């Protein structure tokens, strides 16, 4: 496991936010029902680009599958219960062995990490560069899973709607509704699925993945083989208390994004939460045009510079503060999953600290979880429980996906046979 994960982690660390190159073939005008093809590449083209880029762990002997991505429109429900037209990216492996087609593809629902610019949404990236990007490179091209990536409410086809950042109801709705839309699309277009479903996601996506699993178990219509949420802020109340207890915010856009989304969802006055000019600016800052590196310089690092000090004090001291109660309502770790859950987390995470995974594990087990445990990424890579290796939050992403994909592949082999 160690060498496989290490090689793939090195490969993806370079290709995390970019595709495999502009010289690859563009998609053909294939006719499909209920979608459009936005990426259609053969495995040799992807392999050649990886080799030419000097990717460690990829050579002529490496099996790299083709990659076909579809943008699928569908409808979901927001925090207020309103229907919203949204979109997601469905990526399937091509040029696979006939036995794999006969057995059908296993599906990974992958909730993406925090984005602030619509340009970074999965369907927008795929449509723009017509090339593989991010987690689906490992999940689809290297491991032959069908990968589902919802854009989320507020991005893709719903860019005119604000993004309900780290709010469990809309996150779960958008993901589950996309899983169902993708299954219908696969059936209509003769894409062979075997019914096996895995759930994962990183950072915000880790939070969303656990929210998704809870909804799936509550609804009882789908079954998940294994869930591997990664680096998520599962306890939103602890997260918010921790951030607003600080006098200095290293990445102020994260706190501002949460405060904006919650204030808008709960129909509160921005001026009661933010200082000016930020109370007037947040709606524009988070309208999907700007990415995080463009937003952070426009916000102060001092917590009392960004947030109304009276509101901050009330949040920290008053159990009846509306935001304090709202974050409690949006915790995703206060239940006992009956699906096996592996909390994949880097011990060196500097944004969502490793104790968040430990808290989630303890809380869910206290609620009667059937099989929840933590997988420290650095230990999974090195095989050494005392390893000094540490990945921070941003370094961890591609490595964590390598760990999760390997676990999913082992589970698939044990059940499906390939």
Please report which helix (H) or strand (E) contains residue 136, including its range: helix 135-136
Tell me the pTM. 0.93
Helix 309-317 and helix 322-329, axial crossing angle in degrees, nearest 10: 60
- Asked if residue 252 lies in contact with residue 299, where contact means CB atoms within 8 angstroms, the answer is yes
**pLDDT tens-digit profile of 306-363?**
999 999 999 999 999 999 999 999 999 999 999 999 999 999 999 999 999 999 999 9
Q: How confident is the model at residue 24 (pLDDT cuts 50, 70, 90)?
A: very low
Does residue 297 sit in helix, strand or coil? helix
Q: For residue 64, which phi and psi values (nearest 5 degrees)?
A: -125, 120
Q: Is the pLDDT of residue 27 over 60?
A: no
pLDDT value of residue 54 = 73
So what's the pLDDT on residue 132?
77
Chosen CATH of 237-329 out of 2.40.50.100, 1.10.260.160, 3.40.605.10, 1.10.3210.10: 1.10.260.160
Q: Read off the pLDDT of each residue in 225-244 and give the average, rounded to a whole number.
A: 98
Span(s) in the chain for CATH 3.40.50.1820: 2-235+338-415
- Low-confidence winner among 57-66, 230-239, 337-346, 371-380 (lowest mean pLDDT): 57-66
Q: Where in the chain is the domain with CATH 1.10.260.160?
A: 237-329
| Residue 55 pLDDT exceeds 70 | no
Q: 140-195 pLDDT, tens per residue?
A: 999 999 999 999 999 999 999 999 999 999 999 999 999 999 999 999 999 999 99
Nearest partner of 182 among 114, 123, 127, 121, judged by Cα: 123
Strands 105-111 and 193-202: parallel
The CA-to-CA distance between both ends of the chain, in Å, stands at: 17
Tokens (6 digits) for 88: 């997601």
Q: What percent of the chain has pLDDT over 90?
A: 86
Taking the domain 2-235+338-415, which CATH number applies? Answer: 3.40.50.1820
């Amino acid at each position: 496991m160690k060498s496989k994960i290490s090689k793939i982690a090195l490969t993806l660390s370079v290709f995390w936010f970019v595709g495999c190159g502009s010289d690859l073939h563009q998609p053909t005008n294939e006719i499909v029902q209920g979608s459009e093809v936005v990426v259609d590449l053969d495995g040799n083209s992807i392999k050649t680009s990886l080799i030419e880029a000097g990717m460690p762990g990829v050579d002529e002997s490496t099996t790299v599958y083709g990659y076909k991505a579809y943008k699928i429109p569908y409808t979901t429900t927001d925090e207020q219960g309103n229907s919203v037209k949204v979109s997601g990216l469905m990526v399937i492996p091509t040029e696979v062995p006939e036995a794999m087609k006969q057995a059908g593809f296993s599906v990974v629902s992958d909730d993406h990490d925090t984005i602030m610019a619509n340009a970074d949404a999965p369907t927008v990236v795929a449509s723009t560069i017509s090339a593989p990007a991010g987690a689906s490179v490992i999940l689809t091209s290297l491991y032959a899973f069908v990968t589902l990536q919802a854009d989320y409410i507020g991005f893709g086809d719903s860019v005119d709607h604000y993004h309900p950042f780290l709010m469990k109801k809309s996150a779960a709705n958008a993901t589950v509704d996309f899983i169902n839309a993708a299954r219908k699309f696969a059936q209509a277009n003769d894409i062979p699925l075997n019914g096996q479903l895995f759930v994962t996601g990183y950072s915000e996506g880790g939070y969303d993945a656990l929210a998704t699993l809870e909804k799936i178990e509550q609804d009882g219509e789908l079954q998940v083989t294994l869930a591997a949420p990664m680096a998520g802020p599962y306890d939103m109340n602890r997260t918010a208390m921790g951030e607003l207890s600080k006098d200095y915010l290293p990445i102020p856009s994260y706190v501002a994004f949460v405060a904006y989304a919650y204030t808008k969802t709960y129909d509160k006055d921005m001026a009661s939460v933010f200082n000016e000019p930020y109370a007037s600016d947040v709606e524009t800052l988070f309208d999907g045009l700007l990415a995080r590196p463009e937003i952070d310089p426009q916000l102060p690092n001092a917590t009392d510079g960004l947030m109304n000090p009276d509101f901050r004090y009330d949040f920290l001291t008053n159990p009846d503060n509306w935001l304090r109660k709202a974050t409690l309502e949006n915790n995703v770790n206060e239940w006992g999953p009956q699906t096996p859950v592996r909390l994949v987390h880097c011990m060196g995470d500097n944004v969502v600290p490793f104790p968040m995974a430990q808290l989630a594990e303890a809380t869910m087990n206290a609620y009667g979880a059937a099989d929840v445990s933590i997988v420290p990424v650095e230990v999974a890579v090195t095989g050494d429980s005392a390893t000094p290796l540490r990945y921070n939050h941003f370094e961890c992403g591609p490595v964590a996906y390598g760990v999760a994909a390997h676990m999913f592949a082992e589970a698939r082999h044990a059940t499906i046979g390939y």
